Structure 1
Amino acid sequence: MTPAILLLAFVTVERLAELVLARRNTRALLAQGAVEHAPGHYPLIVLLHAAWLVGLWVFGWDQPVSPFWFAVFVLLQAARIWVLATLGPRWTTRIIVLPGAALVAKGPYRFVSHPNYLVVIGEIAVLPLCFGLTWFAILFSLANAAILTIRIRAESAALAGTPP
């Protein structure tokens, strides 16, 4: 297998594992009385990420992997793990708020309000750059920015009702 195929396989397995984790956490949170907010844009997020991953397989599977951009991608994975570890059972791909629960204020949340989205922004751009797909990075970064504008506004509004 080529380095590109190995990298794409890793990201595919990672995304599928995250969906399993997110579903488990969502079910547990809802069972505790949590409420989902603004679910209407969620299909757009799923569509964007699925199209991004499929497109990377189509255009990147046979490309050389840039060592520089791969190193940046590895750093983003470390940040992703930090976010997931910090949120623990509260991490999900949906906007789920547990009434009365304090906002997370440790880990990367000490520094920024939405560190997970910073990681996603980085990944959407950096993984295509690993394969020299600058046009792909720009296209999906613009689409991601549009969707994240909706998402972050909705999440911030939902969390505003949660005591700090």
Structure 2
Amino acid sequence: MSQAWYSVLVGLVALERLAELVVAKRNLAWSLARGGRETGFGHYPFMVVLHTGLLAGCLAEVWLADRDFVPVVGWPMLALVVLSQALRWWCIRVLGRQWNTRIVVVPGLPRVTGGPYRLIPHPNYVAVVVEGFALPLVHDAWLTALVFTVLNAGLLTVRVRAENDALRTAHA
């Protein structure tokens, strides 16, 4: 029965991701209409595959490997999943139309330094990292957590460098 509830949780996260894509598409159109320029698009398809793989891996590992819910780990990890979602939507709200799943900088707009961005430069990626290990570990899908975390570390190395370059160029 806990596998079914976990599947509902993963489904809810998938719906949240779809909502992000709707916001990102709307924001991309807004940014491009104002002269926004996309950079770092080479890694984007890998990012889509990796994040889709996270959700699929969570379900596959829990169902195929018959992973159990371990309350001492599962409940704290669920709390981290919820907190990561809250942080992600705080980032989306603070960045407003400048938020996107792609790297797009609109010339002339000031760099956002409020909200979580006053504390750390890339808080959305903190949410991604936390969700990437916490969501699988809610139901002991440790292999998915490990594989996603390692691959995501490589991706974020490329992504943060590309984003920092784009921001530095735009605000130079």
TM-score (norm 2): 0.90
Are residues 1:64 and 2:40 paired?
Answer: no
Q: Give me the whole-angstrom Cα distance separating, in 2, the residues matched to 1:64 and 1:19.
A: 30
Q: Give me the whole-angstrom Cα distance separating, in 2, the residues matched to 1:12 and 1:75.
A: 16
Secondary structure of the 2:120 match is coil
Measure how far apart 1:84 and its partner are. 1.0
**Structure 2 match to 1:154:** 162
Are residues 1:115 and 2:115 paired?
Answer: no
Measure how far apart 1:64 and its partner are. 2.8
Deviates more, 1:111-120 or 1:53-62: 53-62
Are residues 1:33 and 2:41 paired?
Answer: no
One-letter amino acid of the structure 2 residue matched with residue 57 of structure 1: L
**Structure 2 match to 1:103:** 111
Provide the aligned length of Structure 1 versus Structure 2. Answer: 164
Q: Which of the numbers 19, 22, 45 marks the counterpart of 1:20?
A: 22
One-letter amino acid of the structure 1 residue matched with residue 69 of structure 2: P
Tell me the C-alpha RMSD between the 2 structures.
1.6
Secondary structure of the 1:36 match is strand
Q: Give me the whole-angstrom Cα distance separating, in 2, the residues matched to 1:53 and 1:9.
A: 8
Question: Percent of pairs identical after alignment?
Answer: 43
Q: Give me the whole-angstrom Cα distance separating, in 2, the residues matched to 1:36 and 1:16.
A: 21
Gaps of 5+ in 1: none
1:65-113: CA deviations, max 9, x gaps? 7112111111111111211111111111000001111100000000100
Q: Which of the numbers 137, 142, 152 marks the counterpart of 1:144?
A: 152
Measure how far apart 1:15 and its partner are. 0.7
Secondary structure of the 1:132 match is coil
Q: Give me the whole-angstrom Cα distance separating, in 2, the residues matched to 1:152 and 1:47.
A: 18
**Structure 1 match to 2:91:** 83
Are residues 1:49 and 2:51 paired?
Answer: yes
Measure how far apart 1:57 and its partner are. 2.0
Measure how far apart 1:135 and its partner are. 2.1
**Structure 1 match to 2:5:** 3
Do the aligned partners of 1:3 and 1:64 also contact (CA within 8 Å) in 2? no
One-letter amino acid of the structure 2 residue matched with residue 12 of structure 1: A
Runs of at least 4 residues of structure 1 off by over 4 A? none
**Structure 2 match to 1:93:** 101
Measure how far apart 1:163 and its partner are. 2.8
Q: Give me the whole-angstrom Cα distance separating, in 2, the residues matched to 1:48 and 1:112.
A: 24
Q: Give me the whole-angstrom Cα distance separating, in 2, the residues matched to 1:126 and 1:87.
A: 25
Gaps of 5+ in 2: none
Secondary structure of the 1:161 match is helix
